[in-house]
Amino acid sequence: MTARGTGHGRLRGIRERIITYFGVLSLLGGGALLLVLVYGAPWLGIEGIHGLKEAEIVRALENAADLKKQSILTWLGSRRTELALVANSEDFAGSAAALLHQPAPPAPPEDLVRLLCQHLATLTRTAPDAYDSVALVAPTGKVIAASDPGQVGSSYRYREFLDAAFTVGASEQIGTALHDREPVILISRQLAVRDREGGETGEVAAVLVSVTRPQQSLEALALLPGIADAEGNQMILVGARGELLASLPEREPASAEKDPLLARLSRQAMTMTESARLETLDDGRRIISAYRYVPLGVAQGWGIAVAMDQEKAFAPLVSTKTRAALFGLGLIAIALVLVGWGGGRVAGPIRELRNTVLALEDGDLSARAAAKTGVPQEIADLAATFNSMAGRIEDSHQQLERKVAERTRELRHEKENARRYLDLAGTMLILLGSDGRIRMINRAGGRLLGGRKKSFSTWTGSTTSSLLTGRRK
């Protein structure tokens, strides 16, 4: 096959192949490097950015849950301490005892009731975000005093909680209830009956009960910027019976069963375990969540759940990954331009050498490869070798032509000498071919056949029979 038989496809040249190979290898290498950087290579002990980001998110969620748990425990401790201080203060306890130990009159003494109400109102004013109301309730369920004087004399709303609050030996109780379809937190403190020496008799004279809306408490305590207030995140506080007490962002308690996120978080929060996990919701969404348990007593407590939507959590990483990929493609494009330029400098001299070879093939024995500076040494050596070879071919061709010309002259001279020798002979000499035709006849033969000198050549190519026939005529 000649040099022209190789074709001139766009991807068959050296420069094009260098660009193609480099581009493919760069894309594969860059893609593999990006995947390793993002997702890691555990078999090589390389942890990817995705894993580091996930661990960072889990730590943030666990810190948020721990802080919220600690803040709730601190908040509950403060409320219990405040109720205990009020219940055990001499003025409040003495006024309550004086009121409770009096024979039942048609109406309680207003001065004692007013004093007790002032104590309770002062408590609510000192912490307006902590208390919705505070009331002193008798064993009969009747409100003796309250931070809202309008409640005095009425039956206390949360009777089910009162049954547990008046249990002998349970000096404190924490529970939940519904008020206008909204959850509230109830904290109670018993006022024990004391004898003349001041010792407790074991009977419960009354119960001091505070009511708090958990939503405002959750918002007031440790909002945790970047977690609880970020889009796609959710923080909830679940009661002992699995009811939704509070949430950030705020959600309706009735929607907990209908919302896949709230339903999953509420169920997991009441398992009395503390963990962090990656979960898939019923609607297909994936979340990263952390759970903490707030103990309130024996086998009783609340649950805290903090969750973050995985897609939104990794959105900055996806954006960074996209920008990194585009940056890498830009670098590869620049590298391809440089490789194309370098490949052209390598392929250019080779193409010129190829064109010289084609010219030599077409018969131009003077074709030579031009010597250029700046080309690779291997190509320069190849060009020099080719020029040397082409020079030898041209010299051999010229020598062959001279030898052929000399031999032709010699043959022509020998032919002329042979004819002269034949013409000198006095007898007829004829040279016949294998087909019986005359190839040559001498001068004597021509005269014998009756021809003239100039017409001897006319017998050449004739047969012997035609010579005889001509002779008879």
Q: Residue 224: pLDDT band by 50, 70, 90 thresholds?
A: very low
The count of domains in the chain is: 3
Question: Looking at residue 262, which CATH number applies to its domain?
Answer: 3.30.450
Q: Where are the beta strands (DSSP E) in 26-171?
A: 40-41, 46-47, 133-137, 143-146
- Half-sphere exposure (CA, 13 Å, Cβ side) for 196? 0
How many Å apart are CA 17 and CA 10, to the nearest integer?
9
Boundary residue ending a domain (152, 183, 217): 217
Looking at every residue in the chain, the average pLDDT score rounds to 79
The pLDDT of residue 459: 61
In percent, the amount of the chain with pLDDT more than 70 equals 83
- Does one domain contain both 183 and 278? no
Is residue 383 in some structural domain? no
Is residue 338 in some structural domain? no
Ranking 191-195, 202-206, 397-401 by mean pLDDT, the lowest is 191-195
Question: Looking at residue 117, which CATH number applies to its domain?
Answer: 3.30.450.20
- Half-sphere exposure (CA, 13 Å, Cβ side) for 53? 19
- Does one domain contain both 231 and 294? yes
| pLDDT: which is higher, 266 or 99 | 266
Q: Residue 221: pLDDT band by 50, 70, 90 thresholds?
A: very low
Does residue 348 contact residue 374 with C-beta atoms inside 8 Å? no
- Does one domain contain both 236 and 167? no
How many Å apart are CA 239 and CA 221, to the nearest integer?
17
* Buried-state track 51-80, b at ≥16 Cβ within 10 A, e below 16: eebbeebbebbbebbebbbebbeebbeebb
CA angle, residues 178, 180, 186, in degrees to nearest 5: 35
What is the DSSP-derived secondary structure letter of residue 239?
A: -
Give the dihedral sign, CA 113/118/124/128. Answer: positive
The pLDDT of residue 372: 72
DSSP 3-state assignment of 436?
coil
Boundary residue ending a domain (198, 217, 236): 217
Please give the backbone phi and psi of residue 209, each rounded to the nearest 5 degrees, phi first: -125, 130
Q: For residue 269, what are the β-bridge partners?
A: none
- Does one domain contain both 268 and 227? yes
Average pLDDT over residues 307-314: 87
11-55: per-residue pLDDT in tens? Answer: 567 777 778 888 888 888 888 888 888 787 877 778 778 888 888
409-459: per-residue pLDDT in tens? Answer: 888 888 788 777 777 776 777 777 777 777 777 777 777 766 555 445 556
**Residue 139's domain spans which residues?**
89-217
Does residue 363 contact residue 357 with C-beta atoms inside 8 Å? no
Boundary residue ending a domain (165, 198, 217): 217
- Does one domain contain both 190 and 259? no
- Does one domain contain both 181 and 293? no
Does residue 279 contact residue 289 with C-beta atoms inside 8 Å? yes
Does residue 14 contact residue 343 with C-beta atoms inside 8 Å? yes
Spatial CA neighbour of 163 closest among 135, 185, 192, 137: 137
